[in-house]
Structure 1
Amino acid sequence: MVSSDWQVVTARARPGSDRFVAIAVFSLLAAASLLPVLLTPIPAMVDYPNHLARMYILSQNGTPDANPYYEVAWALYPNLAMDLLVPQMARLLSVENATRLFLLLSQLLVVGGALVLERVVKGRVHIAGFAALMFLYCLPFTWGFVNFEFGLGVALWAIAAYLMVVEHAWPMRFVVNAVFVTALFAAHFFALGIYGATLGFYELWRAHDRKISYGDAALRLAILAIPVVVLFAVMRSTAGSIGSEGTIWHFEFKPIWLFRIMNGYNLTVSAATALGLMALVYFAARRGVLKLEPAGIWLATGFALLYLAIPSKLFGTSFADLRIIPAAALIIPAFCSLSLPDRRWTIAALTAVTGITLANLAVVFGVWLSYRADYASIIESFHKIDRGSLVLVGTSGEGEDPPFNDLTQYPMFYAPTLAVHYADAFVPNVFTEVGKQPVQARAAIRRLAIPYGGPMPIRVLTAIAAGQAPTDIPPFIRTWYRDYDYLYVLGPRVVNPLPDLLEELDGSARFVLYKVHRAP
């Protein structure tokens, strides 16, 4: 047990009723946290509909129902968790249910992994489960980074497994590490990075605490790194890759994300719950009831430095630094000790944690339920599209993104991509970025693909159709009025900007479907 490495401050004996209350509260919160996924056919997460569209393409590949515009091109990409699992699960379930089951499994891996890690480190479970529930619907997860969520859940189990054998001979450590490195490499690159960073920080603390020689410490770190180096070599030899080019640092956003992290839909709730959690941790630490153990101090310091150092956009993937926050929130509680003086403290702590969890959960559930009708409407609208058509996606807003103060518009962003299944259509926004997804547009249509982009502003589309577009318009959109058969305009309704070119066919409060009468 790792707990033999450092003294765990145990709480004074509690009456059995206190433990029962804590277990009951955790069980109820856990059950409530799973309800949104269980009760919502298509979770209203930003990227989720796009991932679902890709699952349809993969599951139907090689069948008579295969989409004519996309092809599957497998390579060793470190971002394939759902791409590998969901099509296999879809042999027994519908693609929609298989994708939702994958999301549910990801949540169970996250919560279960946090509990198991704490059990391995402390010999008991105490606070990690509550931390996991508070962050189960944090921004990266509610925005639909499902491969990352799944990979992070696996990483928690992997860290726990390694710590169980950390004192064993090197062959045992090497095998355990190699197995999980392989799984994480296939699941998600950033999850592998979290795993490697955690064990690297832990090994550095262990070397410092036990005054291990530099040579022995370097050898232990090398054993951790060897499987990763081998997989990178294999990836390069098989034309695999990690995302695309593009590295951007947004240092000005790093303080903001600390208050933005808790909720992906409501800025006020996110800031309030983040401040509440910070105040709770600060007060408990000042009163001496919450303490970081020595290994925890090294991990917390390491994660803080990593958060400051990592770019906001890395290998073409946005919000790379943001993902460090939930990772740290799931790992560090295992290395904390909590000693509540009496029952009043216990009830107060449970009340605060319950309030934070339920506040975020209520927002998520409300947004997801509000989208059920819109998702049903847009799926119904696909039946008004001729099969095999080309479908463009636009927005009535001023830019690619909805207003930052109304994040509830985001879940509609990629809903039109489901036309690839319901209408055998081509939709340029389907995720087809080389290095991330094993799906790509066929050569004949690839010039129109926007592998990782949002909807085009209707004002830009209008200017292009009127011959007034600026010269820097990208090639894939310059002749949209001749290339596409249909146009979805997302966002608040506006008057038809091109009545001679666009014929309204369908719509709801969040979208309008137009037929494009192609210009000669």
Structure 2
Amino acid sequence: MNGDVVGSSFTFGTMSAGSRITLLWLAVATALSISLLFPLFIVDVPPIEDYPNHLARFFILAHPDDPILSKMYAPHWAVLPNLGMDLVGAGLFRVVDPFIGGKVLLALSLLAPIAGVTLYHRIAFGCVSYWPLASGLVAYNATFFLGFMNFLLSIGIAFAGAAIWISLRRKDHPKLSAVTGAIAATVAFFTHIFGLVFLFLLIGSSELADLRRQHSSGELKSSAILTSGIAMMAAALPAVIIYSASPFGGAVTAEGEWPWLIKALRLLSPFAVTSAPLMIQSAGLFVIIIVLVWRHTDFAPGAWLVFGALAVAYVAVPFDIKGGSFVDARVAVIFAFMLFAALNPRLAPARGIIVTVAIVALIATRVAFISSGWSSARRDVADVRAAISNVEPGARVLAVTGSTEGRFWEPENWILPGFYRLYLHLPALLVVDRRAFWPLLFASPTQQPVSTLPPFDRISQMGEPVDWTRLANEPYSLEVLMRARYLVGWRANFDYVLVVDAHPETLQISGLVHVHDGPFAKLFQIVR
């Protein structure tokens, strides 16, 4: 190691110890990956909000000729910015069990940002470091629990693409960097539009930092500015063309308000778990860690521009943009990963040991808590699957939730405090387990490569299950029908009603016969 690199807890310089140090780093990286993946080994269906819905869509794409599902749904491949997981899932689910394949995809979305952060850090600082591995602290975050799999994959792709760009530009290969940048941008676009934007934020900030360095040293020439601009435009051109041709293109629509209290709460997005105390404690300890390392840290070129842009974006963005929700939470998660990618702490041994122990302990605590919660949630998933085992293939099932009034912190393993309930899409297991129809599949022609076929399209609508109480409140208000148009004539259009997160106070509605009466799920047959 270089003599000026103190605190080998996180940073290795030129690595004079060579292979021994490299093997130690690989051992730590492997141990981290296994630890983070452990919760996935103990469940079939983890409590992740959108995951069952994605699972159902991947299953449909993998079985386009299924004699039952093909009457309800059909692949609808188009130029869309959310195809990454669909392409992989459609192929994977042809050869493996969907519940195993689904966990493989979850593992990919969990580890991709860490891999991208590690590669970016390695290229930016030219050394192997343990610090980017500490990003495992925020691997389980709000966007992961909400099931934003394509988003997380795209962040890993953005970091990796930017790292390759920086490496080639340092070697003075502007043409090659433009080509690889165009490839990275295309891959990022087809994974998630957020990844594409973040990729060019990383690339642009690096280019500006390099030009500023040349200007400060008196070496800046107009040709350097021209080369940088042309390279970036060439890299962006394919993505711009694809975006323009996509149904996703067009005007940017923003929805929702800018509630400052919610904005403040969403700063905790990188640390979100199903326990408010642990979420707050994780964030607090992380702030202390950053304070400890801040004065002894190098920053990647252009890092301040990225941090500034993300901070402005966090304050400015609304809740929804072009159908994408929790936009501010996504920005907060990217910011957290950037702290591990663009910082390079150089700590004295004593401080390095303190920081190392704190991070390891916090990662272990969070993984243990998640594992325990997921293990407990298995009985609820088992109850849902037991309920839907009574549904015959091809049946139409209306899914609703138990009354949630005054119950914002229960059930314990299915609520992300301050964010969302995580069980709303569990009824999507009807598609995978029973090849039955439910009306809330993610099948928007501008976002997903699946379409709902007639006549089922008339009783389908992307969204969330309504509360059980809504069924008894006929005639329905316009506000309710805007969210759930399929409620019109539901007794004639559906065969069953599935209640998830059911409670003793669940209403009794005439014309429904109990088929399954479990503690978490209830199934009723509609008697016409």
TM-score by length of 2: 0.87
Q: Which amino acid aligns with 2:88?
A: L
Q: Does the CA contact (< 8 Å) of 1:185 and 1:192 recur in 2?
A: yes
Task: Let me know the Cα RMSD of the aligned residues.
Answer: 3.0
Q: Does the CA contact (< 8 Å) of 1:242 and 1:435 recur in 2?
A: no
Residue 508 of structure 1: which of 504, 510, 518 is its match?
Answer: 518
Where do 1:56-95 residues align within 5 Å? 56-64=59-67, 66-95=69-98
1:154 alignment partner in structure 2: 157
Residue 273 of structure 1: which of 278, 282, 288 is its match?
Answer: 282
Summarize the Cα distance change of 1:405–1:412 in structure 2 as closer, same or farther, 3 Å threshold. Answer: closer
Residue 196 of structure 2: which of 176, 187, 192 is its match?
Answer: 192
CA distance in 2, matches of 1:106, 1:508: 33
Residue 310 of structure 1: which of 317, 324, 347 is its match?
Answer: 317
SS at match of 1:317: coil
Higher alpha-carbon deviation: 27-36 or 241-250: 241-250
CA distance in 2, matches of 1:8, 1:244: 52
Higher alpha-carbon deviation: 249-258 or 169-178: 249-258
2:437 alignment partner in structure 1: 426
Where do 1:336-355 residues align within 5 Å? 336-342=343-349, 344-355=350-361
Q: Does the CA contact (< 8 Å) of 2:387 and 2:522 recur in 1?
A: no
CA distance in 2, matches of 1:176, 1:246: 32
SS at match of 2:158: helix
1:10 alignment partner in structure 2: 5
CA distance in 1, matches of 2:94, 2:23: 42
1:412 Cα shift? 2.1
Summarize the Cα distance change of 1:160–1:398 in structure 2 as closer, same or farther, 3 Å threshold. Answer: same
Higher alpha-carbon deviation: 420-429 or 140-149: 420-429
CA distance in 2, matches of 1:226, 1:289: 38
1:24 Cα shift? 6.1
SS at match of 2:382: helix
Higher alpha-carbon deviation: 159-168 or 291-300: 291-300
1:190 Cα shift? 0.9
Residue 259 of structure 1: which of 256, 268, 272 is its match?
Answer: 268
Residue 223 of structure 1: which of 204, 209, 231 is its match?
Answer: 231
1:323 alignment partner in structure 2: 330
1:205 alignment partner in structure 2: 209
1:57 Cα shift? 1.0
2:418 alignment partner in structure 1: none
1:507 Cα shift? 3.9
1:382 counterpart = 2:388 = yes
1:239 Cα shift? 4.3
1:133 counterpart = 2:136 = yes
Where do 1:35-54 residues align within 5 Å? 35-54=38-57
SS at match of 2:71: coil
1:171 alignment partner in structure 2: 175
Q: Does the CA contact (< 8 Å) of 1:9 and 1:337 recur in 2?
A: no
CA distance in 1, matches of 2:436, 2:69: 11
SS at match of 1:182: helix
5+ residue gaps in structure 1? 1-6
CA distance in 2, matches of 1:111, 1:63: 37
Summarize the Cα distance change of 1:8–1:224 in structure 2 as closer, same or farther, 3 Å threshold. Answer: farther
Q: Does the CA contact (< 8 Å) of 1:200 and 1:221 recur in 2?
A: no
1:33 counterpart = 2:36 = yes
Q: Which amino acid aligns with 1:284?
A: V
Summarize the Cα distance change of 1:364–1:242 in structure 2 as closer, same or farther, 3 Å threshold. Answer: farther
Summarize the Cα distance change of 1:20–1:73 in structure 2 as closer, same or farther, 3 Å threshold. Answer: closer
CA distance in 2, matches of 1:491, 1:8: 60
Q: Which amino acid aligns with 1:503?
A: V
SS at match of 2:95: coil
2:408 alignment partner in structure 1: 403
1:245 Cα shift? 4.8
2:488 alignment partner in structure 1: 478
For 1:114-170, what per-residue CA distance to the aligned partner results, in whole angstroms no more than 9, with x for missing partners? 222111111222244333210111111122111111221222211211111123232
CA distance in 2, matches of 1:135, 1:433: 30
2:121 alignment partner in structure 1: 118
Q: Does the CA contact (< 8 Å) of 2:269 and 2:329 recur in 1?
A: no
CA distance in 2, matches of 1:358, 1:30: 12
TM-score by length of 1: 0.88
CA distance in 1, matches of 2:263, 2:103: 31
Q: Does the CA contact (< 8 Å) of 1:243 and 1:433 recur in 2?
A: no
Q: Which amino acid aligns with 2:265?
A: I
Seq. identity, %: 21
Q: Does the CA contact (< 8 Å) of 2:57 and 2:442 recur in 1?
A: yes
1:12 Cα shift? 5.7
Residue 446 of structure 1: which of 457, 475, 478 is its match?
Answer: 457
For 1:24-47, what per-residue CA distance to the aligned partner results, in whole angstroms no more than 9, with x for missing partners? 665533321111123322222111
CA distance in 2, matches of 1:70, 1:462: 30
1:250 alignment partner in structure 2: 258
For 1:191-214, what per-residue CA distance to the aligned partner results, in whole angstroms no more than 9, with x for missing partners? 111111111222222222222467
Summarize the Cα distance change of 1:19–1:90 in structure 2 as closer, same or farther, 3 Å threshold. Answer: closer
CA distance in 2, matches of 1:8, 1:313: 50
For 1:199-254, what per-residue CA distance to the aligned partner results, in whole angstroms no more than 9, with x for missing partners? 12222222222224677436524532445443343454464548995433425122
1:491 counterpart = 2:501 = yes
1:3 alignment partner in structure 2: none
Summarize the Cα distance change of 1:443–1:220 in structure 2 as closer, same or farther, 3 Å threshold. Answer: farther
5+ residue gaps in structure 2? 415-420
Summarize the Cα distance change of 1:471–1:33 in structure 2 as closer, same or farther, 3 Å threshold. Answer: closer
Higher alpha-carbon deviation: 483-492 or 327-336: 327-336
Q: Does the CA contact (< 8 Å) of 2:145 and 2:422 recur in 1?
A: no
1:101 counterpart = 2:108 = no
CA distance in 2, matches of 1:312, 1:385: 37
